[in-house]
Amino acid sequence: MTTSPSARLAESDFLRACRGEPTSRTPVWFMRQAGRHLPEYLKVREGVAMLDSCFTTDLVVEITMQPVRRYGVDAAIFFSDIVVPLKAIGVDLDIVPGTGPVIADPIRRRGQLDQLRRLEPDDVESIAAAARALVGELGGTPLIGFAGAPFTLASYLVEGGPSRDHRITKQLMYSQTGLWNDLLERLSHLAADFLRVQVEAGASAVQLFDSWAGALSPSDYETYVAPHSRRVLESVADLGVPRIHFGVGTGELLDQMGDVGADVVGVDWRVPLDRAIEKVGPHRSVQGNLDPTLLFAPADVLHTKAAAAIERGRGARGHVFNLGHGVLPQTDPDAVKGLVDFVHGYERV
């Protein structure tokens, strides 16, 4: 019996696990599965600036497909960056090799908020075109669209670049709470608009990256961040696709990150998955959570840990296997391939 790509897509193990339905095997994909650890990525990126590549339809399609072809992962993640929608509305920023996003004029005053306007479809037409082309190429493999959550975007905008302690961001949050809320509200609309563009172009799940939310106490998360992340996730609820919500070091926040409107909660490697499942509760799936540095360990160590994660994940409504954060640039692609094959071949006990 032949089935159409859209039927195969709806019944894919990845989407089934996100919805909490039984799967034939544990689905697996990796955050940062595209990118610098792949020689074919480095080749196509030669001489092309990171942000230029994100707005070039053919490159987005090619780079998104690379890990799917090489690894046979159960989902593709759209090749882009969390700062792309900011660039698309005209914020003066760049992604500097070896550093990350750098903002020309960090946002710390009310007068600077007006530049954070709503995203119009025309701003990201080359990106939507890439998503449409990808859905055709991917067939039964789901495409995950993503955006940066308001807090994590705000951290880059306020600090001016990557930060270890988010000091200036939190200073603004505590001392100018009205400005903070207006900033995060604008960023929540931007994130929601960007997710909508990707889903309307064919993405069948979304992930909201609040990578740096783990820098917050549960009470500060609730007061200063949760209402804004909730606005993002609630405003894409009508699209009917699973919403994944992930942050690093968020062991104490997992329940709150689920409660703002996630169907799947991403878990980093610091929390055993069974403990994470208890915190997340029975109504949401989980994603994770191997330490990315295990890809540098001997295969027997890597596989023992992967098996433990799969077994712990059985207590969840659904489990999508992933790392606890992104693939590191020095990772050997053969180790990644070995892990995908191990997860796919694992017979649950």
Using rule CB under 6 A, residue 33 touches ligand 1CP: yes
Q: What is the largest CA-CA distance in the chain?
A: 63
Shortest distance (Å) from residue 190 CB to ligand 1CP:
15
For ligand 1CP, the binding residue among 97, 111, 178, 240 (CB under 6 A) is: 97
Query: Where do runs of H (alpha helix) occur along the chain?
Result: 5-10, 13-19, 39-45, 50-54, 57-71, 84-88, 125-138, 150-159, 167-175, 177-200, 218-220, 226-235, 254-259, 273-280, 299-313, 333-345
Residue 34 annotated as binding site: yes
**Quick one: DSSP state of residue 113?**
G
300 belongs to the catalytic site: no
Q: If 0-12 CB within 10 Å is exposed, 13-18 middle and 19+ buried, where does residue 217 land?
A: exposed
User: Considering 19, 32, 230, 270, which one is annotated as catalytic?
Assistant: 32
Q: Segment near ligand 1CP (CB under 6 A), from 79-87, 233-241, 264-272, 340-348?
A: 79-87
As a whole number of angstroms, the distance between CA 259 and CA 208 comes to 14
Q: How far apart are CB 146 and ligand 1CP at their closest, in Å?
A: 5
Q: Is 34 in the site for ligand 1CP (CB under 6 A)?
A: yes
To the query of whether residue 275 is one of the catalytic residues in this protein, the response is no
For ligand 1CP, the binding residue among 209, 221, 224, 321 (CB under 6 A) is 209
Q: Give yes or no for a cis peptide into 289 (omega within 30° of 0).
A: yes
Q: Specify the residue, 210 or 317, whose C-beta has the smaller distance to ligand 1CP.
A: 210
In angstroms, give the least distance from the CB of 157 to ligand 1CP: 12
Q: Exactly one of 41, 71, 156, 224 is catalytic; which is it? A: 156
Binding site for ligand 1CP (CB under 6 A): 31-36, 50, 77, 79, 81-82, 95, 97, 100-101, 146, 152, 162, 209, 211, 326
